[in-house]
Structure 1
Amino acid sequence: MKHEMGRSDLLRRIQEVEFVALDINLYLDTHPDNMEALMDYNKYVYELDQLKRTYEMNYGPLLNFGFSPSQYPWRWIEEPWPWEI
C-alpha cells in the first residue's frame, strides 16, 4: 500500500475503509459463518489500522482521550483537526 497520499486523501481513504469495515461487520452479525466476508472484514480492518497509523505518524492523533498516542510535543492541540478538513 502506498502512503504518498496527501492529508485530505488519507482522511478520505480512512473514511472509505471504515465504512466498508462497518458494513461488513453488520453483514457478519447476521451471517457469522460466511468465511469470505470474514476474510474481507479482516483485510479491511488491517488496512484501516495501517492507514490510521500512517495518518497519526504524519499529522497527529485522530482521536483523543486515550485512543491515539501522541508524539512529542503534545499534538492534539495542532490544527486543523481531522473533522475540520
Structure 2
Amino acid sequence: MADQKTLLKQITEISFTVNDLTLYLDTHPLDENALSAFQQAMMQRKQLLKTYGENFEPLTMDCVCPDSNNKTASQTKYGGQKHFTWCDGPMPWEGGAV
C-alpha cells in the first residue's frame, strides 16, 4: 500500500484526467477512444478513492463506509469501533497527508 501523501497525489492526478476527459467529451460525445479512456480513468479513480478511504478517511461522501473505512485506525479516536467515518482525522485541506 502506498503512503497517504502518495495516494492523495495519485487521486489528484487521475481526477484531473477525468475532468479533462469530461470537458472533451462534452463537445465530442461519440469519440470512442475518449470514452474508453474516460471509463478506465473513472475505474482507477474509484479504486484509489476506495483504497484511501479504507486506509485513512473518505474523501467524498460516496466513499463513507463505517464497515471498511480507516482499517488502520490511524486517523480516528474511535479505533476498533464502527462509526461514521467522515469526521476522522484532518482532511487534506486542513493539513492532512502533508
- The letter of the residue matching 1:73 is H
Q: Highest CA radius of gyration, 1 or 2?
A: 2
State the Cα RMSD in Å. 1.4
1:76 aligned counterpart, secondary structure: helix
- How much does 1:70 deviate? 3.5
Q: How many residues align?
A: 80
Match of 1:48 in 2: 45
Normalising by the residue count of structure 2, what TM-score does the alignment of the two structures yield? 0.73
Q: Which has the higher contact order (CA 8 A, sep 6+)?
A: 1
The sequence identity of aligned pairs, in percent, is 32
Which consecutive unaligned segments of at least 5 residues does structure 1 have?
none
Normalising by the residue count of structure 1, what TM-score does the alignment of the two structures yield? 0.83
Match of 1:78 in 2: 88
Which consecutive unaligned segments of at least 5 residues does structure 2 have?
67-81
